[in-house]
Structure 1
Amino acid sequence: MAHIDYYFGTPSPWVYLAGNRLEEIAAKHGATITYKPLDLMQLFDRTGGVRPANRHPSRLDMRAQELRRWSEHLGMKLNLKPAFSPVNPAPSSYAIIAAQEAGGGDLAGLVQSFLRAVWAEDENIADDAVIRSRLAAAGFDPALADKGLFVGAETFARNLEQAVEAGVFGGPFYIVRESDERFWGQDRLEFLDRHLATL
């Protein structure tokens, strides 16, 4: 059985546009997923990337066009100027880490809920009430927002170190453990699907 390490940032529009395709592909091939939320801005700093705020206007213009094209192509609502962006990724990431540790709920749904909150619903995923509400809606104890703080912070930092060591430099980023095949971007999910079919 294949296993996928999924590196991502909760404020990323590209992660949002991945939707539930990773989970559909994993289910199709009987693969499992470990969700590894991290701070993409720190990852860029560590691996030679440039934070969006520091990119040339021509790159930002192209990014906006591509986001619009992909959201239309996928039929996913996307606000190019969300009310809460940039937003601190740590609180929502801690909640995901705690939920993954606790089990018993819809983890993929929780991840996608935080992403929708930013890019389609104009909610603040660093707000405690939003985090608790999203945890409960995904079938998790909303108290994980508090209970998981220590483990969440520790794992969040470790995910960044593991990402750098594994060759991750952006998100979404998918690594198949058995083959060390790496796939960067929601537009590479088709290639991940094809690769899993060979294992």
Structure 2
Amino acid sequence: MTQIDYFFATLSPYCYLADQRLEAVAAKHGASINYKPFDIVAAFGRTGGTPPKDRHISRIEYREIDLLRQARKRGMPFNLKPAHWPTNGAPAAYAFIAAQNAGGGDLGKLAHAIFRTVWAEEKNIAEDAVVRACLIEAGFDPDLADSGLLAGADTYARNLEEAVERGVFGAPFFIIDDQRFWGQDRIDDVDAYLAGTL
């Protein structure tokens, strides 16, 4: 079975805009998804990137225009300036890793619930109650939000190291075999690659 390594950041608006299209593409081709939450801000510093707030005004303005345009294109609700961004995305990442280790729910649905909570629902994913609600929505035990914190932190750190080693510099980022795809707008390319036409 082909595996897609999916590097994502819990606070990324572009991961939110990916919706669950990757999951649909994976299902279409019988591929599996290996979810890898990582610290995107730390990756920026190590791969030549710049956090959004520190970018030149032309890049900041374009990012805002593009985010709104992509949300409209997909018919997705989107708040350009959410009440709780930036916030600490690590607790949600740790809970995701605990859910990944525990099994029993839908990881794609969990990832999207976390993204949606930030970019469409004005909730703070650094809060335990918010993370627990996401876990419940995706069919996981909400107590996973409070378990495996050390293991979650270790995996989160290892995912960052792996991301840097494998040439990941943004999110969402997909790796299949030796092929790298960056951005929610490259999911069609992932589809074509898995179909053998790209």
If the length of structure 2 is used for normalisation, what is the TM-score? 0.98
Alignment of structure 1 residues 143-182 onto 2, 5 Å: 143-176=143-176, 179-182=177-180
Q: Residue 41 of structure 2 aligns with which residue?
A: 41
Q: What is the CA–CA distance in structure 2 between the aligned matches of 1:131 and 1:70, rounded to whole Å?
A: 26
Q: What is the CA–CA distance in structure 1 between the aligned matches of 2:108 and 2:148, rounded to whole Å?
A: 18
Q: How far does residue 136 in structure 1 lie from its aligned partner after superposition?
A: 1.6
Alignment of structure 1 residues 45-60 onto 2, 5 Å: 45-60=45-60
Q: What is the CA–CA distance in structure 2 between the aligned matches of 1:56 and 1:35, rounded to whole Å?
A: 31
Alignment of structure 1 residues 20-169 onto 2, 5 Å: 20-169=20-169
**Match for 1:126: what amino acid?**
A
**Match for 1:21: what amino acid?**
R
Q: What is the CA–CA distance in structure 2 between the aligned matches of 1:75 and 1:149, rounded to whole Å?
A: 36
Q: What is the CA–CA distance in structure 2 between the aligned matches of 1:137 and 1:79, rounded to whole Å?
A: 21
Structure 1 outlier segments of 4+, above 3 Å: none
Q: What is the CA–CA distance in structure 1 between the aligned matches of 2:89 and 2:36, rounded to whole Å?
A: 12
Question: Secondary structure of the residue that 1:143 maps to in structure 2?
Answer: helix
Q: Residue 16 of structure 1 aligns with which residue?
A: 16
RMSD over equivalenced CA pairs, Å: 0.9
**Which string of whole-angstrom CA distances, capped at 9 and with x for unpartnered residues, describes residues 161-188 of structure 1?**
0000111000000000xx3100000001
Number of positions where the alignment pairs a residue of Structure 1 with one of Structure 2:
197
Q: Residue 190 of structure 1 aligns with which residue?
A: 188
Asked if structure 1 preserves the Cα contact closer than 8 Å seen for 2:172 and 2:182, the reply is: yes
**Match for 2:196: what amino acid?**
T
**Match for 1:12: what amino acid?**
S
**Match for 1:129: what amino acid?**
A
**Match for 2:103: what amino acid?**
G
Identity %: 58
The runs of 5 or more residues in structure 1 that have no matched partner are none
Q: How far does residue 130 in structure 1 lie from its aligned partner after superposition?
A: 0.7
Question: Secondary structure of the residue that 1:6 maps to in structure 2?
Answer: strand
Q: How far does residue 138 in structure 1 lie from its aligned partner after superposition?
A: 1.4
Q: What is the CA–CA distance in structure 1 between the aligned matches of 2:83 and 2:56, rounded to whole Å?
A: 23
**Match for 1:173: what amino acid?**
F
Q: How far does residue 142 in structure 1 lie from its aligned partner after superposition?
A: 1.0
